[in-house]
Amino acid sequence: MAKKNSGHTCSFCGGPMNPDAVVVPSPLQPGVLICSDCVEGISQLLTEVTGEKKTANAEKGIKPMDQVPTPRQINEYLNQYVIGQDSAKRYLSVAVYNHYKRLAQKTVKTDDDVDIEKSNIIIVGPTGTGKTLLAKTIARLLDVPFTIVDATVLTEAGYVGEDIESLLTRLLQVADYDVAKAERGIVFIDEIDKIARKSDNPSITRDVSGEGVQQGLLKLLEGSIVNVPPQGGRKHPEQKMIQVDTKNILFICGGAFDGIERKIAHRLNTHVVGYATDSTKQKIKRDNYLQYVAPQDLKSFGLIPEIIGRLPILTHLDPLDREALLRVLTEPKNAIIKQYQKMFAMDGVELTFTPDALDLIVDKAIEYKLGARGLRSIVESIMVDSMFNIPGSGEKELCITREYALEQIRKAHFETDAVQ
């Protein structure tokens, strides 16, 4: 136990110690003391040695492949939080597993010179179908740095907004500014459709938040060494940059691509010719054109061919039907109803919903066409009065009926003509 010095000398360095200095006595030998300067020096030395060992271990490789969850296990984990979207979950599960393989290839001795390259992903889906939820859910499972960034704030260098390289700033922050660790991470770029160019033809004026940003993203997606501002925002000459190699960073892009269904429908109708016209048209499911999305549709929407080529895996999210929305409301681990039940349980109140009240919530979400995201706003409008009045009232039970829910929705000035 450390104590105040009474005029002794340090048994480690032999120097005299200040009477007010804090010393560390030996638990075995009386009179053997170490000064605080020597303790700090030993601590710093141990930190340096430990840091070198950690760096060396990091360079040798990451998690052994026998400890990496298989694609099936990743998919099962996603099923606990995300309803439906089986196609997108399979693509993501395989992509993440292959990402671990690519990182581990340096530690696996092989006789060939085959280098596994990354396959970036682009996910197309309507708003409220689970693009961001998939990203957040898979981030909980991964053992590599994972971050979600927004493409809407990006502009070309020299214009108001953020530089393209600032996408990697958040990844560095998640990795505690460990560059080697960040270079093994995964970046989810949300709202990728918002940087589409304004028309299918090359722009004749500056498109600083659209085509210009896509051109800047090319080097990040392909893999190159870029200078990243450690605090994000704009780069300036006096700022110290951090060099990051994006070769092994996996990029997953997601976007709603609102209106792309019309381009898909146009392509399907124009490509169907000859005697097979009627039979082929009958096979097309017109309530979900997104399942037929192809790279040429992304090009028509406004993504440049170069960036489409660097996002080789294209998958989609299906619109949520009534059954899926009802399951989203009640089944997942973090279902909206379970969240409100937990909040009321913290006040000692048992919250329940009648089946017809749940049906009303789903019907309104379909009417407003906001997907699963609209469920929360509807439930919040129903529960706000109860959340205000119940705490401290002494009530122990609360049951939400269809009549009460409908009254609260009307009170919140929602359109309710379709629900009687």
Residues 205 and 230 in one domain: yes
Residues 251 and 383 in one domain: no
HSE toward the beta carbon, residue 40, CA cutoff 13 A = 5
CA distance 206 to 213: 11
Assess contact for 32 and 25: CB atoms under 8 A: yes
Where are the strands (E) in 276-347, listed by range? 313-316
CATH code, domain with 104:
3.40.50.300
Residues 219 and 330 in one domain: no
The two structure tokens encoding residue 140: 């909980």
Q: Tens of pLDDT along the chain (420 residues)?
A: 445 545 677 877 877 767 666 777 777 777 787 887 788 888 888 777 666 544 444 444 456 777 888 999 999 999 999 988 999 999 999 998 988 888 887 666 566 677 788 889 999 988 888 888 888 888 888 878 899 888 888 876 656 567 788 889 989 999 999 999 899 888 999 989 888 876 555 555 555 567 778 888 888 898 889 888 887 666 666 678 889 999 889 999 999 898 898 889 888 875 444 454 555 555 666 677 888 999 999 999 989 999 999 999 999 998 888 999 999 999 998 899 999 999 999 999 999 999 999 999 999 988 887 778 889 999 999 999 999 999 888 899 999 999 999 999 998 876 544 444
Q: Which residues pair with 356 in a beta bridge?
A: none
Residues 309 and 333 in one domain: no
Final residue of a structural domain among 42, 60, 78: 60
User: If you ran DSSP here, which 8-state letter would residue 320 be given?
Assistant: P
HSE toward the beta carbon, residue 273, CA cutoff 13 A = 3
- What integer pLDDT is reported at residue 387 of this predicted model? 93
Final residue of a structural domain among 316, 348, 369: 316
User: If you ran DSSP here, which 8-state letter would residue 177 be given?
Assistant: T
417 in a structural domain? no
Q: Rg of the Cα trace of the chain?
A: 29
Final residue of a structural domain among 316, 348, 378: 316
- What integer pLDDT is reported at residue 236 of this predicted model? 65
Residues 91 and 192 in one domain: yes
CATH code, domain with 401:
1.10.8.60
Residue 103: burial class (beta carbons within 10 Å; 0-12, 13-18, 19+):
buried
**Structural domain span for residue 251:** 65-316
- What integer pLDDT is reported at residue 142 of this predicted model? 82
Residues 80 and 53 in one domain: no
CA distance 410 to 286: 34
Residues 84 and 197 in one domain: yes
